[in-house]
Copies of this chain bind each other. A is one copy, B any other.
Amino acid sequence: MLQAALHSGAAHRRSVFEAFARRLPTGRRYGVVAGTGRLLEELASFSFDDPQLSFLSDHRVVDDSTLAWLADFRFTGSISGYAEGEVYFPHSPILTVESTFAEACILETLILSILNHDSAIASAASRMTGAAAGRPCIEMGSRRTHEEAAVAAARASIIGGFASSSNLEAGRRYGIPTVGTAAHSFTLLHDSERAAFEAQVASLGRGTSLLVDTYDVEQGVRTAVEVAGAELGAVRLDSGDLVAQARWVRQLLDDLGNSSTRIVVTSDLDEFAIGLLASAPVDSYGVGTSLVTGSGAPTAGMVYKLVSRQDDDGVFVAVAKASKNKASVGGLKHALRRLDAKGVAQAEVVGVGIEPTEDGNDRPLVEQFVRDGVVLDGWTGPSAVTRAADRHARSVVELPGACRRLQRGEPVIPTEYEEPAS
């Protein structure tokens, strides 16, 4: 495609591409933008190296003039969009790329891969932390997804409100708080549950979390308290009927004088299980599989479409395909969130080719990330993760309360278009 466009000359036309979602995953009330920081970090070093160029050449994937273009590739355009952590709705203009067609075209897979993956995880994380209603959630899903996706998933879960992650590489790269836990294998390795608990407490102190369900939960709790005493940090429950179990384990801990020992629950939790546990005396949730697989929506379904490009006279022309059930809206988009006098979101207002009319309460949504090839400060690195988590917390609290309902429903606010008066 690039080669053919270079040959026809059209590759050099200035173009506007837009990443957006036609719809939210079935039943979801809002989405959460994530991955923008990772994308901008990748963009800063995005080029084609010799082994890559040799592959393209050796296998005649592209011709020599296209190879020469790729060898010199460096993105020189501009990128704007929704801040990482911001909520989004159908047709929100999440990312806009302005450059030559060729440059924007080359970035498509990178942009969509990162946004689709990270936004899917952050959107699931947000539902879970909403259901957890203030109790800390711990990301523990690394073993259930691709090894590099796991690091990105840990990052995205923090943006969606998680407190910490068991992924140490995510801690190293992004400064994310990390926590560990002991597995059943640690207990089975030792000659008895008591020997395992003694080994763990000897090495990690009485404030550690002991996994008490390897054999018999009641005996496990009693042994844990005997070994660690009143200072035992937490017990972890990973099987069985967690609601009932948490209640009697809490009672047992209290009866044994361990009223400050916390209860951590894990075991295939998702937002629905977390919601069910709201009435149980649980202190924190460890979430794995369902989080890193987007809780039923493992990809955010974003697409990347050419919405405007220059003609031979340099005039920008809005373009859109007319394909059945996949039509799109041409033209550069602007966006704001319409808020009422109390600051509650009413609508996602998308201006097609124009800035939407803003009243006093509305909040503009589009930020500049890259200008003429230069990534702007503040959107990358560990600080961007904290900033995105903060943005998300402020963004979601603005939504109508129905956004926290877990039942399937429509987007919690509608998307409205403003177009120039004709």
Contact = CB atoms under 8 A, between A and B. Distances in A.
Contacts of A324: 213, 239-240
Contact of A8 (B56, B190, B322, B323): B190
B146 A188 contact: no
A278 interface: no
A189 interface: yes
A159 interface: no
Interface string A44-59: 0000000110011001
B202 A113 contact: no
A307 to B, nearest CB: 9
A172 B51 contact: yes
A188 B319 contact: yes
Interface in A51-74: 51-52, 55-56, 59, 61, 63
Interface stretch (A129-137, A147-155, A380-388): A147-155
Contact of A113 (B7, B8, B145, B182): B145
A17 B185 contact: yes
How large, as a class, is the contact surface on chain A?
35 or more
A204 B298 contact: no
Contacts of A346: none
A280 to B, nearest CB: 17
Contacts of A306: 184-185, 188-189
Contacts of A239: 323-326
B149 A4 contact: no
A135 B148 CA distance: 33
A15 interface: yes
A117 B141 CA distance: 12
Interface in A13-38: 13, 15, 17
A322 B109 CA distance: 46
Interface in A105-130: 105, 108-110, 112-114, 116-118
A61 B168 contact: yes
Interface string A351-377: 000000000000000000000000000
Given A4-B186, A117-B146, 6 more contacts: A1-B186, A4-B200, A8-B203, A52-B172, A117-B147, A239-B323
15 contacts: A1-B200, A4-B199, A5-B199, A10-B189, A61-B180, A113-B144, A113-B145, A116-B145, A144-B301, A187-B321, A215-B321, A239-B324, A239-B326, A240-B325, A293-B299
